[in-house]
Chains A and B, each alone.
Chain A
Amino acid sequence: MVFLLLRLLPGDLAQAKLGIYGTPEALEQLRAEYGLDRSLPAQYFAWLGDAVRGDLGLSVLTGADITAELLNKATVTLPLIGIASVIAVLIAVPLGMLSALRFRKWDGIGVSVASQLGIAVPTFWVGVILITIFAVQTQVFPSGGFPYDGWADLPAAFQSMLLPSFTLALAQGAVLMRFARSATIDVIQQDYFRTARATGLTRAQALRVHGVRNAMVPVVSVLGMQISTLIVGAIIVESVFALPGVGQMLLQDVNVRDYTKVQGTVAATTTLVFVVSFLVDVVLGFLNPRIRQR
């Protein structure tokens, strides 16, 4: 689908590249080089065949190898998504459980309200506010950018990664929290939970022994569903904090209409979404044997 959409681009690529100096012969040669003289299905299957083998082709504008560039940029984006997920889980699960345990008390309601707000707040706004507080006012963290040496300069890289990860984590955490909350409510209404309480465990103890694992099932499955929003979030966060990741690259490519690169990047991210959903199913099988047997 991505392939077709981009092929609908108005204008002739070879013509665009050679400009007004293109002779008919040169145009033909360039079209042959990029395989543009072949039929659309032939072009598609040639591209797909290469893509499956990890070769996304060359950029039409710079001639750079797309796979290599994508992998290079992914060293910023993937850690960003990873750290953000960890922070999101660390914030969301305890808070969600708290709000479930105290769901008619003021602090439980407060947590629920906060998660509603978190869902409605645009990621870029959170980013800007965090920059204002931590970079402009107190100057604890850099307001954006990434060290030139990348991860070789570990402390600096980590420091510039922290605010963006937090930004991304807050929005994800808000959604996750709602699920952690309702999952916990489900658990504490189960018979086995009441039995555990009857044997003398406190609510917190019973929840630790019996609740967490059961409550994690919906949380993990939601986390898996969220991978696609995490990727979009990463594009936005990279733009807010000027991080040189996949998202930044994609936006630049869109602006200059480097269609092979946009195509490769979107195909790679979509594949990532599918792979993660598959992995989540596997993890769910471990958490809940009933799913595995089905």
Chain B
Amino acid sequence: MKFNRTLIIGVSFVGFSCFLALLSLVWTPFDPLEINPDISLARPSAVHWLGTDENGRDILSNIIVGSRATLLTGVLSVAICMLVGVTVGVATAISPRWVESPAVFGIDIVLALPTVLFAIVLAAVYGPSTLTAIVAIGIALSASVAQVTRREVNVVLLADYVTAARSSGSGTWRIVRKHVLPNIRSSLFVQASGACAIAILAESTLSYLGLGTTPPAPSWGRMMASLQQFLLIDPIFPLWPGLAIVITVLGFNLLGDGLREALDPTLRASEETAVDDELRSASSTGTTNAGSH
């Protein structure tokens, strides 16, 4: 695997967010929940580097602790969507046509339902919480993972070495384990990274709308929503949580792009198929679904 610039930038951004999350376990500048009305809405200063919110809570501490909810949602929903998506994708690819067609139709239906809309419906039923958000995001994203996986598996199944394995007596499961999964592994990494970016955007959106992480646990999306009310006093307030979200999401997107470039040596050689690449990248990282959050 060759490192490229995109990958390095991606890794460092993601690393920065992970560092914040780990740091929050051992140290924060102040207690993120400590209320101090005397210094409410303070401007950034030597003591409170990023200022304080309307209750005098230190914004920097809240952002550091908020990274936990964000990364946790990202990682867990990606775990769900990869588990469900890859299982469904492989299963539909190796199953007979009369199973495959309805399954593909089902995947298309889930794809048509936007992630955040699905999460909103789930929140309506089970009440807003981090868990609802994780499950909703995970299930919604698994459809696109299943779609891409199915396509990739179908390509591998047509390869000569699979025919050779089959004719030498390997069963379906052995072929899946020995040939299919190792061959789609790099694509799965790329998908996971892209899905993580979408999941984090979706989580912050849900929290912003009041349907994600519940108070008092700090979350970047909810910080945005509450600090937005004080724009008139000082427009700098909502800048910080937004910046934190952008760095993390950008990091995962670049990580996905960089991985794709590093793991797929044919990519840089051929620029003739730019659209195909873009489409593949978009569907594997789900960019077309990411657009607005």
Which residues of A does B touch, CB under 8 Å? 1-2, 5-6, 8-9, 116-117, 119-125, 128-129, 131-132, 136-137, 168, 171-172, 174-175, 178-179, 182-183, 185-186, 189, 218, 222, 225-226, 228-233, 235-236, 239-240, 250-251, 253-255, 257, 259, 262, 266, 269-270, 273-274, 277
Contacts and interface: CB of A to CB of B under 8 A. Distances in A.
B155 interface: no
A44 B238 CA distance: 45
Q: Determine the interface band of chain B, counting residues with CB < 8 A from chain A.
A: 35 or more
B115 A232 contact: yes
22 contacts: A1-B109, A5-B122, A6-B125, A122-B205, A122-B249, A125-B245, A128-B231, A132-B235, A179-B275, A179-B279, A182-B275, A186-B272, A186-B274, A189-B271, A226-B288, A228-B112, A228-B117, A229-B292, A236-B116, A236-B292, A236-B293, A270-B112
A229 B288 contact: yes
B232 interface: yes
Contacts of B91: none
B278 to A, nearest CB: 4
Given A122-B201, A228-B114, A229-B292, A178 B246 contact: no
Contact of B250 (A120, A178, A255): A120
B292 A168 contact: yes
A132 B231 contact: yes
Interface of B: 109, 112-117, 120-125, 197, 201, 204-205, 208-211, 221, 224-225, 228, 231-232, 235, 238, 242, 245-246, 249-250, 253-254, 271-275, 277-279, 282, 287-293
SS class, residues of chain B in contact with chain A: helix
Given A185-B274, A218-B275, A229 B291 contact: yes
A229 B120 contact: no
B274 A172 contact: no
Nearest to A230: B292
Nearest to A226: B291
Given A125-B242, A251-B120, 19 more contacts: A8-B125, A119-B287, A120-B201, A122-B204, A124-B208, A124-B224, A125-B245, A128-B242, A132-B238, A136-B231, A136-B235, A186-B275, A189-B272, A218-B278, A222-B282, A222-B288, A233-B292, A236-B293, A254-B123
Contacts of B115: 232
A116 B252 CA distance: 11
A273 B288 CA distance: 14
A120 B253 contact: yes
A127 B209 CA distance: 14
B275 A183 contact: yes
A235 to B, nearest CB: 7
B291 A257 contact: no
B125 A9 contact: yes
Max count, chain A CB within 10 A of own CB: residue among B120, B238, B289: B120
A178 B287 contact: yes
B47 to A, nearest CB: 25
Contacts of B275: 179, 182-183, 185-186, 218
Nearest to A271: B112
Contacts of B277: 182
A229 B246 contact: no
A172 B121 contact: no
Q: Which of A122, A124, A168, A274 has the most CB of B within 10 A?
A: A122
Contacts of A128: 224, 228, 231, 238, 242
A169 to B, nearest CB: 10
Nearest to B201: A122
A222 to B, nearest CB: 6
Given A116-B250, A136-B235, A274-B112, A269 B287 contact: no
A232 B124 contact: no
Nearest to A9: B125
A145 to B, nearest CB: 15
A233 B291 contact: yes
A1 B112 CA distance: 12
B232 A136 contact: yes
